[in-house]
């Protein structure tokens, strides 16, 4: 059996055992081993957790290089991230992919509103690790930004953007972000627009890389079978030759909505996509835990959430309805969404908004609170069951300057939240009379198939809460060895 297959089998066996233990009420003594932190000579922050059980290492390098820094060229951050693996040093895209695959490693890059990132998984066997780290170092420090490769990547992006214009969900979410954030950098979608992508030149990507992919602008997270000295050497090597620019400037604050707004977008479908939102909370927000736990009850717990009960179960108005917070460096959005038949759109909207208003007024019941606490804390071990998950959490803790004991204290912090704290936090932070609303649909076409379930709160919200997981396309590792096909454009997990 190969090492890769053996590792996969071990992971499945351990995962199954962990599920069984959780079901019996077992909790680990610690969430993760103690996090070790330091700064490289080049100025990058490093967070490290030793994990000697398997001969693997996961490395995630995160920069303040997301779409919030695109300036006048939306999509610049994500295209820069996409191009990192299309040529670096003396290697072209094929050579990078071949070398990564030859040692069974995995490499991916991506961008969100806050960050640009690269993630590597490799065996710790000396020869394999040397090849994998050499590629990661070149990708981050010596991208070539070849003009021909850029044109190919650009054309693929333009095709994707045109296809997105035919997706009512994409249209609605982009419109909602513009309505919530106005002139703030968070308003622009990380993927860009057809106009901005068409206007970009290779030099724009080079300038972006030189400005934002600098060591003082980086957080390096490492989890794996290394000791402290090896981890220090690895982090130093990765960051030694990065550009010499300083940290990115702080983003401007997100203003509150001055007034409610409603936008109706005609779209040829038998279903209406309805979205509502307003600025929510930032990473490290003092109200994070009451809002997180309260939203789990409101719309983040799938079929047992209040929104599901009122909109789907009681009235049959939607197959899926959800809410979530997406905390970012500045206030990210609080979002609600559903899909429903065109003729039921107004009724579904009224029920969704009434459920929100009622929850803000009354807060959760004791029974709802107890069930939510048990659900989140009971599933906590599975959220950190794997080095690739832990390394993502480490990068969030480091990048957003969260306490190093954040994961250890997460269950305790959840258990300490009261129903009154949830009610007060929602009343302070969410105003149902000041929501931005977007409705996409209303123009009948062929009947649509049953919609897939929308993102659950914790799935879309962020990776920093252990009860959360990345959404599809969240920039995770490729399913097999090699370089992920294209950089992910996402907010989840960053």
Tell me: the pLDDT tens digits for 413-427? 999 999 999 999 999
Asked if residue 388 is part of any domain, the answer here is yes
Average pLDDT, the chain: 86
Q: Do residues 363 and 446 make contact, with C-beta atoms less than 8 angstroms apart?
A: no
In this predicted structure, the answer to whether residue 437 has a pLDDT above a threshold of 50 is yes
Mean pLDDT, to the nearest integer, of 180-204? 97
Q: Which of 69, 70, 97, 81 is nearest to 150 (CA)?
A: 81
CATH of residue 296: 3.30.830.10
Same domain, 50 and 93: yes
Asked if residue 22 is part of any domain, the answer here is no
Mean pLDDT, to the nearest integer, of 475-482? 37
Asked if residue 282 is part of any domain, the answer here is yes
The predicted structure's pLDDT at residue 470: 29
Same domain, 281 and 239: no
The predicted structure's pLDDT at residue 231: 98
* Location of structure tokens 């835990």: 289
The predicted structure's pLDDT at residue 31: 57
Same domain, 233 and 95: yes
Same domain, 73 and 156: yes
Residues 6+ apart with CB under 8 A from 286: none
How far is it, in rounded angstroms, from Cα 411 to Cα 409?
A: 6
For 90, half-sphere exposure in the C-beta direction (CA atoms, 13 angstrom radius) is 1
Asked if residue 359 is part of any domain, the answer here is yes
Q: What is the pTM of this model?
A: 0.85
Provide the number of structural domains found in the chain. 2
Same domain, 238 and 298: no
Q: In the structure encoding, which two tokens stand for residue 84, read together? A: 């990192």
Highest mean pLDDT out of 331-335, 385-389, 480-484: 331-335
Instruction: State pLDDT tens for residues 115-162.
Output: 999 999 999 999 999 999 999 999 999 999 999 999 999 999 999 999
Domain ranges, residue 145? 34-251
The 3-class SS string of 249-271 reads: CCCCCCCCCCCCEEEEEEEECCE
How far is it, in rounded angstroms, from Cα 381 to Cα 69?
A: 35
Same domain, 112 and 242: yes
The predicted structure's pLDDT at residue 449: 35
In this predicted structure, the answer to whether residue 468 has a pLDDT above a threshold of 60 is no
Same domain, 347 and 408: yes
Instruction: State pLDDT tens for residues 276-325.
Output: 999 999 999 999 999 999 999 999 998 899 999 999 999 999 999 999 99
Among 366-370, 383-387, 417-421, 436-440, where is mean pLDDT lowest?
Answer: 383-387
3-state secondary structure of 82: helix
For 82, half-sphere exposure in the C-beta direction (CA atoms, 13 angstrom radius) is 27
Strands (E) across 17-157 are located at 36-39, 45-50, 56-63, 87-88, 91-92, 106-111, 116-123
The predicted structure's pLDDT at residue 443: 65
Instruction: State pLDDT tens for residues 65-106.
Output: 999 999 999 999 999 999 999 999 999 999 999 999 999 999
Mean pLDDT, to the nearest integer, of 254-272? 93
The predicted structure's pLDDT at residue 446: 39
Percent of the chain with pLDDT over 90: 79
How far is it, in rounded angstroms, from Cα 14 to Cα 50?
A: 18
Asked if residue 27 is part of any domain, the answer here is no
Q: How many CB atoms lie within 10 A of CB 388?
A: 16
The predicted structure's pLDDT at residue 379: 87
Same domain, 304 and 347: yes
Length of the chain: 494
> CA distances (Å), 407 to each of 95, 340, 402, in order?
39, 38, 10
The predicted structure's pLDDT at residue 444: 53
The predicted structure's pLDDT at residue 484: 58
Instruction: State pLDDT tens for residues 43-56.
Output: 999 999 999 999 99
Backbone torsions φ then ψ of 264, nearest 5 degrees: -105, 120
Among 3-17, 162-176, 356-370, where is mean pLDDT lowest?
Answer: 3-17
Same domain, 247 and 281: no
Same domain, 172 and 232: yes
Asked if residue 53 is part of any domain, the answer here is yes
The predicted structure's pLDDT at residue 456: 35
Percent of the chain with pLDDT over 70: 83
Asked if residue 2 is part of any domain, the answer here is no
The predicted structure's pLDDT at residue 183: 96
The predicted structure's pLDDT at residue 384: 85
Last residue of a domain, one of 191, 223, 251: 251
Same domain, 277 and 245: no
Asked if residue 341 is part of any domain, the answer here is yes
Last residue of a domain, one of 251, 270, 290: 251
Same domain, 246 and 320: no
């Amino acid at each position: 059996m190969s090492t890769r297959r053996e590792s996969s089998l071990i992971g499945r066996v351990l995962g199954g055992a962990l599920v069984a233990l959780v079901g019996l009420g077992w909790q680990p003594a610690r969430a993760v081993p103690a996090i070790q932190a330091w700064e490289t000579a080049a100025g990058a922050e490093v967070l490290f957790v030793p994990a000697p059980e398997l001969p693997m290492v996961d490395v995630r390098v995160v920069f303040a290089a997301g779409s919030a820094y695109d300036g006048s060229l939306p999509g610049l951050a994500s295209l820069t991230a996409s191009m990192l693996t299309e040529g670096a040093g003396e290697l072209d895209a094929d050579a990078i992919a071949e070398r990564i695959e030859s040692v069974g490693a995995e490499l991916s890059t991506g961008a969100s509103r806050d960050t640009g990132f690269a993630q590597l998984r490799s065996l710790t066997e000396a020869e394999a690790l040397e090849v994998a780290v050499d590629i990661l170092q070149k990708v981050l420090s010596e991208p070539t930004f070849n003009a021909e490769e850029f044109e190919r990547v650009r054309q693929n992006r333009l095709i994707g953007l045109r296809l997105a214009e035919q997706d009512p969900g994409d249209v609605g979410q982009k419109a909602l972000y513009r309505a919530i954030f106005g002139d703030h950098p968070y308003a622009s979608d990380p993927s860009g627009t057809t106009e901005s992508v068409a206007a970009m030149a290779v030099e724009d990507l080079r300038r972006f890389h030189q400005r934002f992919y600098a060591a003082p602008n980086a957080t390096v997270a490492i989890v794996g079978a290394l000791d402290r000295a090896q981890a220090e050497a690895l982090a130093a090597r990765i960051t030694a030759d990065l550009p010499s620019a300083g940290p990115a400037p702080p983003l401007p604050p997100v203003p509150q909505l001055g007034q409610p707004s409603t936008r109706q977008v005609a779209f040829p479908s038998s279903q209406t996509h309805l979205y509502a939102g307003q600025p929510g909370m930032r990473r490290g927000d003092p109200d994070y835990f009451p809002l997180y736990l309260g939203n789990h009850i409101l719309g983040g717990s799938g079929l047992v959430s209040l929104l599901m009960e009122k909109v789907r179960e009681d009235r049959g108005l939607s197959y899926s309805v959800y809410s979530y917070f997406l905390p970012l460096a500045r206030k990210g959005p609080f979002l609600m969404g559903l899909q429903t038949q065109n003729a039921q759109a107004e009724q579904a909207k009224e029920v969704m908004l009434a459920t929100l208003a009622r929850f803000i007024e009354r807060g959760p019941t004791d029974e709802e609170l107890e069930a939510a606490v048990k659900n989140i804390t009971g599933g906590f071990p599975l959220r950190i069951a794997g080095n690739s998950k832990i390394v993502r959490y480490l990068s969030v803790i480091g990048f957003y300057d969260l306490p190093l004991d954040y994961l250890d204290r997460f269950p305790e912090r959840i258990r300490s939240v009261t129903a009154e704290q949830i009610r007060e936090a929602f009343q302070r932070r969410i105003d149902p009379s000041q929501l931005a609303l977007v409705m996409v649909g209303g123009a009948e076409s062929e009947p649509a198939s049953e919609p897939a379930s929308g993102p659950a709160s914790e799935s879309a919200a962020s990776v920093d809460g252990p009860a959360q997981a990345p959404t599809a396309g969240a920039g995770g590792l490729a399913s097999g060895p090699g370089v992920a096909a294209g950089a992910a454009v996402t907010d989840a997990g960053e």
